[in-house]
C-alpha cells in the first residue's frame, strides 16, 4: 500500500499538516486549525520561488534539514562515523498512522542510519514530537545532536524565554527575532535555575490575553538546548533538544538513541493560552496529584530549626501546626549520618543515633497522633567527602580520570550510572521509608555536575535517566509516595521531571515580593498545584526584606501552599491570621488547582493582577499586588477578564490573613460588595484601594 502524500492531525482548535510528497516529512503548518484545507494546494502556496544566487530548485527543509537537500541552516542531525557519514539524506521508508498519531521512518542506506519521528496531537491540542536515530552500520556512530525543529510563520517577530539564578529563578527576557541563531544552552547536568521551561515565539505585541504564541518545551531534566534561527532568506524556525556532550552517545551496531519528547504548544489567545493548554494536558494525567487527592497544607521546618533537631522542639512546632491546620510536616536536612552541618554525612542515609537515639519512629508517632502526615528530606544524588560512603567508594562520583571535581557545598555528585552507587541509594532510602510511615520526600540536588564522566565517558544523559528510574522505583515500592523535586530551590523544574515527581520547590527564596515574580513566570508552563509556595518568616533569610503576613499569605495562596517559619514564635495575631489563611486555602484549593490562570496586562510595572477562573466561569479568585510605589496618585482600574461576559457576578474582597496597609483617606465603595456583569468586570473594572508598596488584596467573584 502506497504511503499517503500528506496527513492532517486536528484537536482542540489546532491542526498539524505533514507533507510527505517530497520523500521527507515536512511540517507545512502547525497552529490554528485551517479547516478543510487542501494539502496539495497548501503545498503550492508555501513552495518558494527561486531567487538569484541560490540553488536552481526551491528547497523545503523537512524535519531533518539535511544539507544534502540544499539546506544551509543548522541540521537536525549532527554526528559522524570516524571521518564518514557526517552528511545524510534521509528518504521515507515507512509511514504509520493510528488516530491522531503519525510515525514517519526514513533511512540513508549509504550512511547506515535510520531516523524516525512521531507526531502525536493530544486532546488538548499539544503536538508531542519524539525523534530517534538508529545505527544500521557495523562501525559505531558518534551522535552530536538530534534536535526537533518546527517552522514558524513569517509574521512571528519576537521570542520570550526565561533566565535566572538561585533565589531569582524564571525572569523574562523578550527580544526581536533577527537573522542568525539564538540559543539557550544548559550545561549544568540539571535543568538549572537559568532554565526557561518553555521558549515562546510571539506575534508583534502579543501579551497574556491577545495575539498568537507558539512554545516549545523539552521533556528532559539534563542538559538542554533551545534555539531560534532566522535564515537570510527570512524564514524562521525554532527547535529544542538534549545538549549532548562530546562522545556521550556512541551508537553501536543496531543501537538506537531516542531524543527527549518536545511539547509544541500553540495559542491564539496570548501567553495565557499556552498556560491553559499545558495545564489541561498535565491535569489530564490519571497520576496528576490533584486527581488523587487535594494538595495538603505543608509545614517544612528548615527555616524553623535548620540542623538543630530535637523531638521537644519539633513537637512544639507540630502542636502549633495542628492548631493552624497543617496537614503535612516535613523534616528537612540533618537527621542522618554525621550531618550536623553541610560538611558531612551526605551519602549515609541512616538515622543518626546521636540525634535520634530511638530512630524517627517517635517523631512519626507524635505526628500521627496529631493527624499530620510525615515527610522527610533526602539528597540522594550527592555525597560529602566526609562520609562513610565516600571513604568506602571514592570512585562512585562523576569524574574524569584521576581528577576530583571542585566541590560545591562541600559535596560531589554520585555516579548513579554505576550500579553499585544506584543500589546503595535506592536500598538505603527504601529502608528508611520501610521503617517509618513517610508519605512524602523532599529530594534536593545542590550541586551542578562538573566533569560528569563515567569511566571517562560523558554521563549526563544516563545520570538523568537513572534519577527518573530511581524515583519511579521508589513510588512502585511505596504506593502513594509523593516526591518533591528540589534543586537549591528551582534548579530542576521542567516538563521531564513533572512526569516523575509530584511537586517542585519553586525557589529557596520565600521573600513574598520575589515570589510574585518567580511564581508568575514559573506558572507559564507548570500549574500552581505542582509548585510549593510557602509563607516564610517575617524577614526573609535570603533578602532580609520584611513583609506583613497578609502579603506573604496572599502570595503563598497561589500554589501548593505551605509554611516555612518557626511558628512557635508567632504572636496571637499572626496565629489567627495563619489559621484564617489555612482555612481559606482548604476551602478554595479545588478552584485554585483546577481553574484557568489569568494574568492581566497592566499599563506599568508597579502592580500585578492575576487570578484563577473556574473552568465553567462560575467563580474566580484574583489577587491585586503592589510591587512598588504607584506612578499615579489614583492607580488604574483592576480589570478581571476571563469571565462569562453575559453573566452577573457578586464581587467581594477576602481578608483571610488580615488587612493590607493602605495609603488613602477613604476606601472605594465597591469594597463592601458589588454586582457586575462579566463584561463590565473585563472592560470597566474596579478602582483599587491605594495600597502601600508590597501589599495585596484578594478579590472573590461568584456568579449569581
Annotated catalytic sites, by residue? 444, 508
Give the whole-angstrom CA distance, residue 185 versus residue 194.
9
CB 660 within 8 A of CB 551: yes
Question: Cα–chain-centroid distance for residue 225?
Answer: 15
* Alpha-carbon gap, residue 613 to 195, rounded angstroms: 28
- CA count, 13 A, side-chain hemisphere, 688: 30
> How would you class 246 by CB atoms within 10 Å of its CB: exposed for 0-12, middle for 13-18, buried for 19 or more?
exposed
Lookup: cell for 410: 562541600
The CA distance from 73 to 319, in Å, is 63
Whether residue 267 contacts residue 276, with contact meaning beta carbons closer than 8 Å, is answered with yes
Residues in the chain: 704
What 3-state DSSP class applies to 49? coil
- Per-residue CA distances from 308 to 302, 313, 566, 676 (Å): 9, 9, 12, 54
- Tell me the C-alpha distance between 229 and 218, whole Å: 17
DSSP bridge pairs for 299: 329, 563
Could you tell me if 657 and 553 are in contact, meaning their C-beta atoms sit under 8 angstroms apart?
A: yes
Q: What does the buried/exposed string (b/e) look like for 669-686 if buried means 16 or more CB atoms within 10 Å of the residue's CB?
A: ebbeeeebbbebbbeebb
CB contact burial 568-600 (16+ within 10 A = b; e otherwise): eebeeebeebbebbbebbbebbebbbbbbbbbb
d(CA 100, CA 123): 9
Residue with grid cell 513537637, as numbered in its chain: 315
Beta strand 560-563 with 298-300: parallel, antiparallel or unpaired?
Answer: parallel
Alpha-carbon torsion (291, 295, 301, 303), positive or negative: positive
What is the 3-state secondary structure of 317-377? HHHHHHHHCCCEEEECCCCECCCCCCCECCCCCCECCCCCCCCCHHHHHHHHHCCCEEEEE
Locus of grid cell 556512530: 141
Residue 635: left (phi > 0), alpha (psi -120 to 50), or beta? beta
> Which alpha helices (H) appear in 241-300, and where do they start and end?
270-283
Measured CA to CA, the distance from residue 579 to residue 322 in angstroms comes to 10
In order, the DSSP letters of 152-173 are E-TTEEEEEEEEEETTEEEEEE
Count of alpha carbons within 13 angstroms of residue 322, beta-carbon side: 14
Task: State the Cα–Cα distance between residues 574 and 566, nearest whole angstrom.
Answer: 12
CA distance 284 to 281: 5
Rounded-to-integer distance, Cα 631 and Cα 628, Å? 9
How many Cα atoms are found within 13 Å in the side-chain-facing hemisphere of 420?
9
Whether the CB-CB separation of 564 and 300 falls below 8 Å is answered with yes
As a whole number of angstroms, the distance between CA 103 and CA 18 comes to 11
Amino acid at each position: 500500500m502506497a504511503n499517503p502524500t500528506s496527513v492532517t492531525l486536528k484537536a482542540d482548535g489546532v491542526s498539524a499538516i505533514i507533507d510527505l510528497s517530497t520523500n521527507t516529512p515536512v511540517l507545512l503548518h502547525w497552529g490554528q486549525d485551517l479547516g478543510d484545507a487542501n494539502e496539495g494546494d497548501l503545498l503550492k502556496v508555501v513552495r518558494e520561488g527561486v531567487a538569484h544566487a541560490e540553488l536552481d530548485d526551491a528547497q523545503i527543509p523537512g524535519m531533518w534539514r539535511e544539507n544534502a537537500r540544499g539546506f544551509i541552516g543548522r541540521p537536525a542531525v549532527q554526528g559522524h562515523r570516524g571521518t564518514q557519514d557526517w552528511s545524510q539524506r534521509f528518504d521515507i521508508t515507512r509511514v504509520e498512522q493510528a488516530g491522531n498519531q503519525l510515525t514517519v521512518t526514513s533511512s540513508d542506506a549509504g550512511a547506515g542510519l535510520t531516523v524516525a519521528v512521531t507526531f502525536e496531537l493530544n486532546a488538548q491540542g499539544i503536538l508531542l514530537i519524539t525523534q530517534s536515530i538508529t545505527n544500521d552500520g557495523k562501525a559505531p556512530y558518534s551522535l552530536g545532536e538530534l534536535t526537533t525543529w518546527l517552522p514558524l510563520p513569517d509574521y512571528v517577530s519576537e521570542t520570550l524565554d526565561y533566565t535566572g539564578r538561585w533565589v531569582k529563578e524564571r525572569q523574562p527576557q523578550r527580544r526581536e527575532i533577527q537573522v542568525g541563531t539564538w540559543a539557550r544552552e544548559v550545561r549544568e547536568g540539571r535543568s538549572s535555575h537559568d532554565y526557561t521551561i518553555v521558549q515562546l515565539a510571539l506575534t508583534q505585541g502579543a501579551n497574556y490575553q491577545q495575539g498568537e504564541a507558539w512554545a516549545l518545551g523539552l521533556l528532559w531534566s539534563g542538559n538542554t538546548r533551545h534555539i531560534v534561527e532566522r535564515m537570510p532568506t527570512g524564514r524562521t524556525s525554532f527547535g529544542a533538544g538534549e545538549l549532548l556532550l562530546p562522545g556521550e552517545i556512541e551508537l553501536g551496531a543496531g543501537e538506537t538513541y531516542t531524543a527527549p519528547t518536545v511539547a509544541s504548544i500553540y495559542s491564539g489567545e496570548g501567553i495565557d493560552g499556552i498556560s491553559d493548554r499545558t495545564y489541561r494536558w498535565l491535569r489530564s494525567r490519571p497520576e496528576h496529584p490533584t486527581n488523587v487527592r487535594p494538595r495538603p497544607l505543608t509545614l517544612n521546618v528548615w527555616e524553623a530549626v535548620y540542623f538543630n533537631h530535637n523531638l521537644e522542639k519539633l513537637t512544639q512546632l507540630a502542636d502549633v501546626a495542628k492548631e493552624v491546620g497543617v496537614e503535612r510536616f516535613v523534616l528537612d536536612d540533618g537527621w542522618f549520618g554525621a550531618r550536623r552541618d553541610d560538611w558531612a554525612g551526605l551519602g549515609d542515609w541512616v538515622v543518626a543515633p546521636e540525634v535520634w537515639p530511638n530512630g524517627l519512629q517517635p517523631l512519626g508517632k507524635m505526628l500521627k497522633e496529631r493527624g499530620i502526615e510525615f515527610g522527610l528530606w533526602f539528597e540522594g544524588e550527592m555525597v560529602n567527602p566526609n562520609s562513610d560512603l565516600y571513604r568506602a567508594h571514592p570512585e562512585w562520583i562523576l569524574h574524569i580520570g584521576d581528577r576530583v571535581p571542585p566541590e560545591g557545598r562541600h559535596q560531589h555528585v554520585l555516579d548513579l550510572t554505576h550500579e553499585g552507587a544506584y543500589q546503595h541509594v535506592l536500598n538505603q532510602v527504601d529502608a528508611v521509608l520501610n521503617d517509618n510511615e513517610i508519605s512524602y520526600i523532599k529530594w534536593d540536588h545542590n550541586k551542578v555536575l562538573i566533569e560528569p564522566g563515567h569511566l571517562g565517558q560523558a554521563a549526563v544523559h544516563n545520570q538523568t535517566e537513572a534519577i527518573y528510574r530511581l524515583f519511579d522505583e521508589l513510588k512502585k515500592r511505596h504506593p502513594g509516595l509523593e516526591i518533591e523535586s528540589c534543586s537549591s530551590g528551582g534548579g530542576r523544574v521542567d516538563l521531564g521531571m513533572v512526569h516523575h515527581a509530584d511537586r517542585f520547590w519553586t525557589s529557596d527564596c520565600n521573600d513574598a515580593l520575589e515570589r510574585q515574580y518567580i511564581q508568575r513566570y514559573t506558572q507559564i508552563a507548570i500549574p500552581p498545584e505542582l509548585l510549593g509556595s510557602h509563607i516564610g518568616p517575617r524577614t526573609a533569610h535570603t533578602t532580609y526584606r520584611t513583609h506583613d503576613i497578609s502579603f506573604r499569605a496572599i502570595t503563598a495562596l497561589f500554589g501548593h501552599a505551605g509554611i516555612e517559619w518557626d511558628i512557635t514564635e508567632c504572636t496571637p495575631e499572626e496565629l489567627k491570621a495563619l489559621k484564617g489563611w489555612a482555612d481559606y486555602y482548604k476551602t478554595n484549593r479545588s478552584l485554585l488547582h483546577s481553574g484557568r490562570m489569568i494574568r492581566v496586562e497592566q499599563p506599568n510595572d508597579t502592580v500585578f493582577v492575576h487570578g484563577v477562573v473556574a473552568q465553567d466561569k462560575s467563580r474566580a479568585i484574583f489577587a491585586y499586588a503592589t510591587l512598588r510605589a504607584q506612578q499615579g496618585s489614583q492607580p488604574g482600574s483592576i480589570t478581571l477578564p476571563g469571565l462569562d461576559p453575559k453573566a452577573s457576578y457578586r464581587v467581594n474582597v477576602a481578608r483571610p490573613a488580615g488587612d493590607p496597609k493602605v495609603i488613602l483617606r477613604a476606601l472605594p465603595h465597591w469594597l463592601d460588595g458589588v454586582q457586575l456583569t462579566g463584561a463590565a468586570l473585563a472592560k470597566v473594572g474596579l478602582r483599587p484601594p491605594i495600597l502601600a508598596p508590597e501589599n495585596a488584596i484578594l478579590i472573590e467573584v461568584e456568579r449569581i
